[in-house]
Amino acid sequence: MATYVLVPGAWLGGWAWQDVASGLRDRGHDVYPITLTGLGERVHLARPEIDLETHITDVVNTIAWNDLDDVILAGHSYAGTVVTGVADRMPDRISQLVYVDSAPLGDGMAMVDLYPPEALAALRQTIDQFGEGWRYPFPGFEMLAEDTSIAGLGEREQEAMVAKSTPHPWATYTQPLRLKHADAEDTPYRRVLIACDEMRGLVAAGVPQIAAMAGPPWHYLEMETGHWPMFSAPRELVELLDGLTGDR
């Protein structure tokens, strides 16, 4: 039996992992789907002060207060930054650090650094106009599909995401990630990339930081599905996550 901590990306809560968590539990594993502060069923706690450190602390405290060790810690999309911070703060509790169609940020980087200037300016305008200056509203699938793969998301999955998604605290995107062990050459945990359409495309394009994740010391796995595999291909994602326990 393994212990999994699953962290969802922007706008989502622990509910997003329901099918994956059920599949892993059916295989005898212990699973902790996280809902980050201000999202999902914790939306009533939303406030402008929620930042990246808040979300890192959410996961750190889940691991600490439940006395979890040898954790397989998985972060999807935005949560790749969150789990990077968690592993930096408690590396000895983590056995495998899994990026689900995501990648780590470097020390001192923020999510906003990934946006071109024009796109970031438009995003800030949206947040000011529709999010009271501190919330990042769910943009809808028409807009998401412009630069992110929604392959595999049928009408049912899209309706569920629209119904349950909540605005994301914007300060989590603007606060830089601070790492205490940024210069460490070795980690006590294995790093894993599960690359779906978005990351597979970046690997194929030879983007240096991402292409490096497709070879040692990384463990590289692929899924032929869109950016939200917990909805579009949950059984396949369960297979890959379950397989991590026996292929080291």
End-to-end CA distance of the chain: 15
Q: Which residue among the candidates 22, 77, 102, 149 is catalytic per the annotation?
A: 77
CA separation for the pair 120, 72 (Å, rounded): 33
Q: Decide if 77 is catalytic.
A: yes
Beta carbons within 8 Å of 40's beta carbon, 6+ residues apart: 8, 12, 13, 14, 15, 164, 166
Active site residues: 77
